[in-house]
A and B are shown apart, each in its own frame.
Chain A
Amino acid sequence: MLATSPAFKQNATEALGNPSLQKALHRTRPQSSGKRAAAVAALPEFERLRDIGRDIKDHTLAHLDFYLETYADNVERAGGHVHWCSSADDARDAVLQICRRADARTVTKGKSMVSEELAINEHLEKHGITPIETDLGEYILQIRGEPPSHIIGPAFHLNREDWEESFRKVHTDLPADRVFHERRDIMTEARVLLREKFLAADVGITGANFLIAESGSSVIVTNEGNGDLTQTLPRVHIVLASIEKVVPTLEDATSLLRLLARSATGQDFSVYTTFSTGGRRPGDLDGPEEYHVVLVDNGRSGMVGTEFHDMLRCIRCAACMNHCPVYFAVGGHSYGWVYPGPMGSVLTPALIGIDKAANLPNASTFCGKCEGVCPVKIPLPKLMRHWREREFERHLTPAIARANLGLWAWFARRPALYRLATRAAAVGLGLMGGKRGRFTKLPFAGSWTDGRDLPAPEGDTFFARYAHAQRKAKP
């Protein structure tokens, strides 16, 4: 996927003025945090499980080479094949070769963010193979030629009208005057059409939420069941998985699964959690004959041992974006690449380069909500700060921002002056803010106040208030 991350600011401005997107964001925002909160409240052990989840991932990453080799050996033992791929190109080619050997004409696909990252669909199409997305959200995005805007609810930015319009446009075999009474009618139309595709496909491609070293299994988690149909019906199953998905044992995966659905959708457990190990066994009446794992690095090994190492713990639950005020203001497409929200702001620069994604780590208010809900306790704000430092060091920060930072530093080194200036500003802005207590417009900050109001300071500076409280506390 071509990154438009450098245009984040422009993307964000457009998103703020897009009524259809804003409607979808307003609809989704209250649910996305409320459901998780209810699921977490119902499991008293949740906080302790987060520590366990973090520790399992840390243990695995500290021995990643060992667990990957163990995993790969066990896949082969179960009759599967592992294709190690350093780069996106390697992975695309590995997938294409497997499809070609299988004489594939159509390929069904379960939801996979790694597939988006590698742009598998474009590659297959270029070589005459038709990929068909089967996750309902991914299906409509494929029809509309749009990228996903969320890592688990890829099409949440669309409204019902968009679904109906797109279905009418491409499902031309159906009566043009049919009526969609409910959302369910839209879903049923897709169910019937995709059922034929599942049955006709030669190859099924899924992602993996986890890889299990002890058994050589890949795990997918879905609610629709499309991933299972994708990997059960065609003759060949290809698993696309990045290297950090491996965990040692079924017990390790189970502990992480207790965190995943609750953090993601607020379910106690997803509807289908499926463990696949090799191809069809003697006597089996169904299942794929061939089982391939395309094991993708694509920049991750370069994060090991760096200040971004912790990001490799991510289990792609989307809790961080579901709780992010920036994400819910501008939506997922503004981030300009596969992974949006706080996790994307850390991961995208690592995978495509900070020079192409310097805006993303700045798209944060540092409210800390993301770290507070992350099931594996990734310190996302700290990691974004690391990127800001790298951006500054590499002189990628715009001149104006550098100049302002320099000005701030000059004052900060002169405490008396600093206090005087901030006090004057606080009191002045407080008076100017008047009764309303906020600014809808400010000189030199037009692009900031276009999207939101600036609250006016209420009273004195922090320093002054702190000193005052200290004096009062003394006997």
Chain B
Amino acid sequence: MSRQAILGAIRRGLRRGELPEDQKLGLRARLTAHPRHLIPARSQVPRPAQIALFIRNVEKEFGTVARVTDAAGIPPAVAEYLAAQNLPTAFAMAPHPELRSIPWDSRPLLHPREGRAEPTDLVSVQHGYAGIAETGTLMLPSSPERPTTLNLLCDTAIVVLRVSNVCGPYEDAWDRLRAEPGFMPRNVMLVTGPSRSADIESTLELGAHGPRRVHVILLDDDPAAIG
């Protein structure tokens, strides 16, 4: 039995047998408490500065951001972005209630299709679960309402994110996720900008296998965050 062989070899190396129950209890308590370590000060700032940091970091990593004040502003923002990039107006959209309630009909030229991304889709619209200001990172946990392929398959990934869901450090986003039913989701992607590679002559090029463009539409739903 490989399991016993490996564990036995580790214990021999550590010069002890299996841990006694009281020590295991201590380790289990550490797992339950999942203590935080040092958190960099850069994201521990007032809300407006946190949002500004998030935007700055998304842009630093070659993403783009548009801010809208209400859900009615989302369809025009999507339409303008797609037009500016010369992209088609059909897109695959996460079957998420928040995205469904957006008044897409206000822009009849837009063609959202709910579901996962298919290989032929060029544009996706994903629901952003959280933003992490520390590095301009999007947290995209999988669920029936948030298929993973929408993060990956399309050339252009658009993510709709509420300002109230922008956190400072990663740890704040983990805390939110821990409070969700069914934690830990099957897949949690932390996405920081569009896909890239430096494999050819150590020179950075965007658009390796994942999206070539990542565009965040930030919905200002948090008065405290508007500085």
Instruction: Give me the interface of A with B, judged by CB distance under 8 Å.
Output: 24, 27-28, 31-32, 43-45, 48-49, 52, 56, 62-70, 72, 78, 84-86, 90, 134-137, 140, 153-156, 158-160, 163, 183-184, 186-188, 191, 194-195, 198-199, 213-217, 223-226, 228-229, 232-233, 243, 248-252, 254-255, 257-258, 265, 267-287, 295, 297, 301-306, 309
Contacts and interface: CB of A to CB of B under 8 A. Distances in A.
Nearest to A155: B199
Contacts of A85: 2
Nearest to B4: A84
Contacts of A45: 38, 40-41
A195 B210 CA distance: 10
A109 B149 CA distance: 17
B199 A153 contact: yes
Given A216-B184, A228-B152, A272-B192, 18 more contacts: A28-B202, A65-B7, A65-B19, A68-B6, A134-B209, A153-B202, A186-B200, A195-B209, A213-B31, A223-B195, A224-B208, A249-B34, A254-B174, A258-B40, A277-B186, A285-B116, A286-B149, A302-B13
Contact of B13 (A69, A249, A306): A306
Q: Name, among A63, A90, A158, A160, the residue most crowded by chain B CB atoms within 10 Å (CB to CB).
A: A63
* In the complex, the 3 A-B pairs of residues with the closest C-beta atoms, listed nearest first: A225-B210, A304-B13, A305-B13
Nearest to A295: B6
Interface of B: 1-3, 5-7, 9-15, 18-19, 24, 27, 30-31, 34-38, 40-42, 57, 61, 95, 115-116, 119, 134-135, 137, 142-144, 147-149, 151-153, 170-171, 174, 182-203, 205, 207-211
Contact of A65 (B18, B143, B189): B18
Contacts of B184: 78, 215-217, 275, 277
Contacts of B191: 271-272
A70 B34 CA distance: 14
B187 A297 contact: no
A188 B195 CA distance: 12
Q: Name, among A28, A65, A86, A183, the residue most crowded by chain B CB atoms within 10 Å (CB to CB).
A: A65
Contact of B189 (A135, A274, A277): A274
Contacts of A302: 9, 13
